[in-house]
Amino acid sequence: MGLRDRRANLRHGTYSTAVVLPAKVKKGKTSTLAANRLILIDPRGEIDEDDLLSFLENHVEPIFWPWLAERRKMSNPKTY
pLDDT band at 50 (very low <50, low <70, confident <90, very high): very high
**Statement: residue 1 has pLDDT above 90:** no
CA angle 10, 14, 17 (to 5 degrees): 25
Q: Which residues, including other chains, have CB under 8 Å from residue 49's CB and lie 6 or more apart?
A: 32, 33, 34
Q: How many domains does the chain have?
A: 1
Q: Rounded to an integer, what distance in angstroms lies between the CA atom of residue 13 and that of residue 10? A: 10
Domain containing 37 equals: 10-75
- On whether residue 55 sits in a domain, the answer given is yes
pLDDT band at 2 (very low <50, low <70, confident <90, very high): confident
- On whether residue 45 sits in a domain, the answer given is yes
Is 43 exposed, middle or buried, given 0-12, 13-18 or 19+ CB atoms closer than 10 A?
Answer: middle
- On whether residue 49 sits in a domain, the answer given is yes
Q: Rounded to an integer, what distance in angstroms lies between the CA atom of residue 9 and that of residue 35? A: 15
- On whether residue 34 sits in a domain, the answer given is yes
Considering the entire predicted model, what is its pTM? Answer: 0.80
- On whether residue 29 sits in a domain, the answer given is yes
Q: What is the mean pLDDT of residues 12-35?
A: 94
- On whether residue 17 sits in a domain, the answer given is yes
